[in-house]
Amino acid sequence: MASVKITNENFEAETGAGAVLVDFWAEWCGPCKMLGPVIEEIGEEEKGFKVGKVDITTEKELAQQFGVMSIPTLVLFKDGKEVDRLIGAYPKEAIVHWVKEKL
């Protein structure tokens, strides 16, 4: 399953149950562009958690609600609650290891 576009309207529905890795990103962000294909790969390959993306340019309320000050920021949610976060671009293996370690 590829990543899901998460908006203010569908945030609770998408993150309320199970494990979800959410990428807070923006089109104008260089590191976000590098990380984008990695996040898509993780979304397609991993079965133990869902992957979503929040464009902070259009979803300013979500970025503010979760205190996202730097991008890319990866936030791991479990049953609607934040478990942990990573700030910056990381290799795919490091992200997958981090998610599985936190779950």
Structural domain spans, the chain: 4-102
Q: Tens digits of per-residue pLDDT, 36-80?
A: 999 999 999 999 999 999 999 999 999 999 999 999 999 999 999
Handedness of CA 87, 37, 49, 52 (dihedral sign): positive
Mean predicted lDDT score pLDDT of the chain: 96
Catalytic choice (29, 42, 68, 76): 29
Check whether 1 has a pLDDT greater than 70: no
Is 73 catalytic? The answer is no
Is 32 catalytic? The answer is yes
Catalytic choice (21, 32, 38, 68): 32
Band the pLDDT of 94: cuts 50, 70, 90: very high
Burial 39-60 (b: 16+ CB within 10 A, else e): bebbbeebeebbbbbbbbeebe
Give domain 4-102's CATH architecture: 3-Layer(aba) Sandwich (3.40)
